[in-house]
Amino acid sequence: MDKYGIIGFPVKYSFSPKIHNPAFKHLALNAEYKRYEIPPDIFTDEILKLKKANIKGLNVTVPYKQKILSFLDETDPLAAKVGAVNTIKKKGSKWIGYNTDLYGFLLPLRNYFDTIQSVLVIGAGGAANAICFALIDKLKLNILDILNRSKERAELLKEKLESHLNPEIKILSKSQNDNNLKYDLIVNTTNVGMANLKNEIPFNIQNNVHDKTIIYDLIYNPEHTLFLQAAQKLNLTTINGLDMLIGQAKKSFEIWTGQKFPDQVIDRNIFY
C-alpha cells in the first residue's frame, strides 16, 4: 500500500484525510493518507525517520513549511521562489518540494481580483510567503502591509517581496494602533483562532475595514473563528480556509499520482 500523509503541529484537526482517502478509493488506488503530528522538539529526528520510511508523499502545514526546506533534495522553482513548501513527493530516495498553497489561496478570491488594491497580511511564516506571492502575481496592488509578532521575520519576507512588487510594503507591529487604513482584503495566515488558540483573535479589524472589505482566515477548523465572527457582525464578506485546503489538496494529489483529482468525492457535509 502506498502511504501519504500530513506533517505539522497540531494536525489532529486536519481535514486532509477526508479529502485524499475518498479520492484514492474512487480511483481504486491502493493508498492511504494519515496524520503525522510532530512536536517541534523532536522535529528533526521524526523527519529523518519519515524520509527513510516508505512514504510516497507528504503535505506540510504549520509551523514547518519553511523549516522543511533543509531536508529536501530538490525544490520546484516556484516553491524555491516563495521560500516555503507544503507538498513533498518522494522520487526514488529523494524528496522534492512543491508549493500548491498559491493555487488554493486564490480560488475563493477569483471574483474579487478587480476590487482588491490594498491588503493586510497577518503573519510572516510559510503560508504568508505563499499568499503574498500569489497576491503579487494575480492582483494589481497599491498597498501590501504585513503584521507579525516578530518584526525580524516580517522584514525578511519584505526583503524577499521587494524585488517582485511595485506597491509600498510596510511592516506593522501589534502595538501599532495609529494605522487607520481601510483595507480591501485582510488575511490571517497564523494559527491564532484554532486548537488551543481558538479563543483568541489575531487582529482587531474594526478600525481597518470599509463596507466591502473581505476578511479571509486560512483556518478552516473551526468553521467560523472569532476573527471571522467579528467580521460577520460588521456584515463583511468572510472566507475561511476550506476552499484553499481543497484546492491545494487537489494539486498535491495530482503531483503525487499523476492523475486528475476526482471532484465528485468532495462532500462538504462531511467537514462540519
Three cell numbers written together for 143 = 498597498
Is the pLDDT score of 95 beyond 80? yes
Q: How confident is the model at residue 72 (pLDDT cuts 50, 70, 90)?
A: very high
Residues 161-220 have pLDDT tens digits of 887 666 678 888 765 546 789 999 999 999 999 999 999 999 999 999 999 999 999 999
Q: Is the pTM of this model over 0.85?
A: yes
Instruction: List 74's β-bridge partners, or say none.
Output: 96
Grid cell 516553491 in the structure block, residue = 79
Q: How confident is the model over 34-49, as a mean pLDDT?
A: 98
Q: Is 65 a catalytic residue?
A: yes
Would you say 107 and 243 are in contact if contact means Cβ atoms under 8 Å apart?
yes
d(CA 90, CA 210): 46
From 18, 49, 65, 89, the catalytic residue: 65
Helix or strand holding residue 145 (H, E): strand 143-147
- For residues 249 and 19, the answer to whether their CB atoms sit within 8 Å is yes
Closest C-alpha among 185, 118, 124 to residue 154: 124
**Cα 172 to Cα 123, 138, 143, 150, 218, distances in angstroms:** 10, 24, 13, 10, 20
Q: Which structural domains are found in the chain, ordered by start?
A: 2-99+245-261 (3.40.50.10860), 103-243 (3.40.50.720)
User: Could you tell me whether strands 74-75 and 143-147 are parallel, antiparallel, or unpaired per DSSP bridges?
Assistant: unpaired
